Chains A and B, each alone.
Chain A
């Protein structure tokens, strides 16, 4: 079926509609865009601008809407460095939002840095975001914050969401919640994240990718000095680095992303029946090693496939052609079940790279021009219709690029036909089995 799916999208041409543009009063940076999905599956976009304002962009009943979220504890004159948000619960809205700020004292001129964590401990409110924005736990930092990232880690209470924050002191700091005191604390990261304990320069970006069985993870960091670390970590018991690889560039590396070539999405409950019916073999273990894409600011971007055995990276063609690379995401933008790499540059373009199996290569299949330098990218469902939209943050605002809905609808109808034919093809033996069992009963 996967093949049939991909067969429908033989052409690589992407047809985007410029659905909306939200203009921002002041510029953000590469860390100030984060999607936030609530339990109903609606995605909002939180975007912070330099001048201490945080906006929430969403589509309410099909209409674009942008409002300011009044986060508390962001004093006047403060500047937001990074923002990250996550919904800890899958059944209700339990947002935690992290915002790092720099505050300059007007009198002494001294800078102070804070990491504000917003969360709601009593979960009985309608408008979760507005409540969450008022419940702040400020942590003072003794370093300049950089990338704020969240991931999960196994603790004695089970899986838990933790914050990772890179700083100007060349360290990656780990924060985890203490439920008893209702607060967050910085903890030594050598235990749960041994791979992050020995960084030697400022980390600009980090990424953690767990395997589907949660027994292994791949982590990557890249830094200002151009050093890129990649680790295989076994997390079955106490996390242990099993393999690592380091690459050094002459220029800063801005982003590292770890990804699988194929997308995985759990089958919805109501389709489980069909799914099980055509299940012939149990899911084979993913022998594919995760791939790592490294976006270098002033050089080409490279893809490392299986970095343990093979150290050579694949150079993404023409990825250094349009100014500094600022951001990179990996997503299945053409709905063929395989991930594509998207690279945003200061040269006002977003380039889409597509993977070709034979011969192994990544080729440009599409590029999108925007009127301003690109700072950040996201691919998520803001319009709430089940399809994803490409979100491009530029220096002046947020562009929402929508797939042509007519093309998507035709894809859906074709695939639905395949699904129904599968259902009817497998229905017959099932009914026979049921009837025979009834007879015997």
Chain B
């Protein structure tokens, strides 16, 4: 196995123990650049931006921060920061009036909303769980319960801001302790929720929309029907029987298996979304940005794909790109395989006894055994080929980057890891893939130069073998292409010698 050594990193100072899910990369200030948000067990929350080693924002006395997520909970098209504490407080922070880029001394954070929810939350996600185009808040609790919440405006507007609260939508009670939860797109493109269960197994939870124009209203009596529309599937995964049935399992969904579709089909999708916007616009004003946010994201994906920017998307770009946090958000990038029959994205499972597997539609694509206790798994494209690699981290700092044909690179972080995440981070105006390690020594390390062209190294001979011109020229020189010793001598001479007089 190839071993990589990453050098370029940023070090952030942050004291205290960090919960596994209290570290998050996301764009809290909606400038298109992701920030790093961490919270510790003593109730300190910090937002790091760019190369600044000190937090640009600090929140204190929150209680034990157990989970952090960034997303569009308010459905206004703008990201907010949501922090949940162990004792059941949910704080929402809004950075609308506040540009983090300004070089100021660290500011104290004030939540725009605080609410009590059931205690013992350990994981939180923000994203569309039922396919209605609105973001929900999904939490998993330590007592085997998954709940979803929806932000509802109360109608009052104070100082230009609307007030409201989070209202519970669904609740599932599972049989076993929850390892982690993640969003994943199904075959038909609808979102689903995967809940990892011990022993490398998981539940698929699906909340179906009833109809196209069904408007979710928590005060509507019809909402009880939702429960009947939900499906619940348990996937024992064949090889799971072989292992320790009680081992802790992590799961990460929405791993892109293939490149983003061609431009033409994407433009069409964008067009339809656009028309959706116009239609939906009549009912509620806050829907519009939400829909636009979707288009903006796909346009951003497109532009990263070397497409020329078409003017309507530029507007969207200014608005804000949808966050692409692997941990906390469902990627709404328009992925379509040939014929658009299969929209399902893959998901990776990692267990504490060192099994890492990639699953696609219930089938194990590959499975890898390592000798280290994997406690975190993420999907991130580090080879810049449009496909995500699976990144799994062990407590002792060993990190495995596995591409989809199971080629693997190992990176060893030099310290035991307290919390780990991988994703995009805004550095010098660019979103770069990075690995974030929180150590036990009050420091957070963010490795940012991690892109590599290939997971497996190729030698020059292999590259030359594929070159037909090289073969032709060898023929001209009368050198057999199989004579490796001679070829080596020739290559060496061409590089380092000279035919000089």
A residues whose Cβ falls under 8 Å from a Cβ of B: 1-2, 5, 17-23, 40-41, 62, 64, 263-268, 270-271, 274-275, 278-281, 283, 332, 335, 337, 348, 369-371, 381, 383-388, 397, 399, 402-406, 408-409, 411-413, 415-417, 419-420, 422-423
Docked CA distance A41–B6 (Å): 31
Across-interface contacts of A265 in B (CB, < 8 A): 492-493, 496-498
B479 to chain A, nearest CB (A): 7
Report yes or no: B495 in contact with A386, Cβ–Cβ below 8 A: yes
Docked CA distance A399–B469 (Å): 33
Interface flags, B484-495, vs A, CB<8A=1, else 0: 011111111111
A341 to chain B, nearest CB (A): 16
B455-483 at interface with A (beta carbon < 8 Å): 457-464, 467, 469-470, 473, 476-479
Across-interface contacts of A405 in B (CB, < 8 A): 458-460, 462-463
A262 to chain B, nearest CB (A): 8
B108 at the interface (CB under 8 A from A): no
**Nearest residue in B to A408 (C-beta to C-beta)?**
B460
6 further interface pairs, Cβ-Cβ under 8 Å (given A271-B499, A386-B490, A420-B476):
A23-B412, A268-B489, A370-B5, A371-B7, A385-B488, A416-B473
Across-interface contacts of A383 in B (CB, < 8 A): 459
Given the known interface contacts A270-B486, A369-B7, A408-B495, the answer about A386 and B460 at a Cβ–Cβ threshold of 8 Å is yes
B334 to chain A, nearest CB (A): 31
Query: Which 9 residue pairs of A and B lie closest in terms of their CB atoms, listed nearest first?
Result: A386-B491, A265-B497, A386-B492, A385-B459, A385-B461, A405-B460, A21-B3, A386-B488, A21-B5
Docked CA distance A403–B495 (Å): 12
B187 at the interface (CB under 8 A from A): no
A356 to chain B, nearest CB (A): 19
Report yes or no: A370 in contact with B7, Cβ–Cβ below 8 A: yes
Report yes or no: A281 in contact with B2, Cβ–Cβ below 8 A: no
Report yes or no: A267 in contact with B457, Cβ–Cβ below 8 A: no
Cβ-defined partner of B479 (8 Å) among A270, A335, A348, A411: A270
B219 at the interface (CB under 8 A from A): no
Q: List 9 A-B contacts (CB under 8 A).
A: A2-B498, A5-B498, A19-B457, A265-B492, A268-B493, A371-B7, A385-B488, A399-B5, A409-B464
B452 at the interface (CB under 8 A from A): yes
Report yes or no: A263 in contact with B496, Cβ–Cβ below 8 A: yes
**Nearest residue in B to A392 (C-beta to C-beta)?**
B5
B residues whose Cβ falls under 8 Å from a Cβ of A: 2-8, 412, 414, 452-453, 457-464, 467, 469-470, 473, 476-479, 485-501
Across-interface contacts of A371 in B (CB, < 8 A): 5-7, 414
Report yes or no: A22 in contact with B493, Cβ–Cβ below 8 A: no
Given the known interface contacts A18-B4, A383-B459, A385-B460, the answer about A267 and B477 at a Cβ–Cβ threshold of 8 Å is no
Docked CA distance A280–B499 (Å): 12
Among B4, B5, B469, B485: residue with most chain A CB under 10 A: B5
Across-interface contacts of A64 in B (CB, < 8 A): 2-3
Given the known interface contacts A268-B493, A335-B496, A387-B495, the answer about A41 and B485 at a Cβ–Cβ threshold of 8 Å is yes
Report yes or no: B487 in contact with A413, Cβ–Cβ below 8 A: no
Across-interface contacts of A271 in B (CB, < 8 A): 490, 493, 499
Across-interface contacts of B473 in A (CB, < 8 A): 413, 416-417, 420
Across-interface contacts of A384 in B (CB, < 8 A): 459, 488
Report yes or no: B3 in contact with A278, Cβ–Cβ below 8 A: no
Docked CA distance A408–B492 (Å): 11
Cβ-defined partner of B2 (8 Å) among A19, A386, A403: A19
Among A5, A18, A370: residue with most chain B CB under 10 A: A18
Docked CA distance A404–B463 (Å): 10
Across-interface contacts of B493 in A (CB, < 8 A): 265, 267-268, 271
B435 to chain A, nearest CB (A): 13
**Nearest residue in B to A399 (C-beta to C-beta)?**
B5
Among B7, B463, B498: residue with most chain A CB under 10 A: B498
Report yes or no: B495 in contact with A411, Cβ–Cβ below 8 A: yes
Cβ-defined partner of B500 (8 Å) among A1, A335, A397, A404: A1
B311 to chain A, nearest CB (A): 37
Docked CA distance A402–B487 (Å): 19
Across-interface contacts of B453 in A (CB, < 8 A): 17, 404
B199 to chain A, nearest CB (A): 32
Across-interface contacts of B462 in A (CB, < 8 A): 62, 385, 405
A362 to chain B, nearest CB (A): 20
Docked CA distance A270–B483 (Å): 12
A85 to chain B, nearest CB (A): 21
Report yes or no: B495 in contact with A419, Cβ–Cβ below 8 A: no
Docked CA distance A182–B412 (Å): 47
**Nearest residue in B to A19 (C-beta to C-beta)?**
B457
Across-interface contacts of A17 in B (CB, < 8 A): 452-453, 457
Docked CA distance A371–B8 (Å): 8
Docked CA distance A62–B500 (Å): 33
Docked CA distance A20–B410 (Å): 10
Docked CA distance A283–B493 (Å): 18
Given the known interface contacts A64-B2, A405-B460, the answer about A416 and B498 at a Cβ–Cβ threshold of 8 Å is no
Report yes or no: A337 in contact with B498, Cβ–Cβ below 8 A: yes
Docked CA distance A206–B329 (Å): 61
Docked CA distance A433–B477 (Å): 21
Report yes or no: B492 in contact with A381, Cβ–Cβ below 8 A: yes
Report yes or no: B499 in contact with A274, Cβ–Cβ below 8 A: yes
Report yes or no: B500 in contact with A412, Cβ–Cβ below 8 A: no
A225 to chain B, nearest CB (A): 35
Docked CA distance A419–B491 (Å): 12
B364 to chain A, nearest CB (A): 25
Docked CA distance A384–B462 (Å): 11
